[in-house]
Amino acid sequence: MRITKTVDLDEGRTVILHELRPRDVLKFLRTISQDLKNTDVFTLLTERLPQLLILLEGENIIPPAGETLADLSLSECEQIWTVFREMHPMLFLMAGEMVKTALLANFQTSA
């Protein structure tokens, strides 16, 4: 059974997070892998990760009724991101290794 957590925002607004399945993790990691090839790491970390989270919206991240993740405030996204990270420690270990490998490869080619 998939783990489900609820993030309470305000005024009865909630976001429901479902544990990712292997196919969701592969989709997420493939996107990061493509981005690492086409985007510098700073841009990826500062601009693209929120967009990657939106890729998981729908079955895995259910925003408040009538809203999307893009409608939420940055502080609300931060709350969601914190719970999401806590739910998926292995995903972030793998993603971190991918970023580290890309940084090293980028550093070696620029030297």
pLDDT digit string, tens, across residues 48-82: 666 666 667 778 889 999 998 888 888 898 888 88
Q: Do 84 and 69 meet the contact criterion of CB atoms below 8 Å apart?
A: no
Domain that residue 11 falls in = 4-110
- Which of 11-20, 22-31, 98-107 bottoms out in mean pLDDT, i.e. has the lowest? 98-107
| 69 Cα distance to chain centroid | 12
pLDDT value of position 40:
66
Q: Counting every residue, how long is the chain?
A: 111
Res. 27: pLDDT tops 80: no
Residue 17 near residue 7, CB atoms below 8 Å: yes
Count: domains in the chain: 1
* pLDDT of residue 46 exceeding 80: no
Q: What pTM was computed for the model?
A: 0.67
Write down the pLDDT at residue 29.
72
pLDDT at 19 over 60: yes
Residue 10 pLDDT: 87
Q: pLDDT averaged over the chain?
A: 79
- Predicted pLDDT of residue 31: 72
Please tell me the predicted confidence (pLDDT) of residue 77.
84
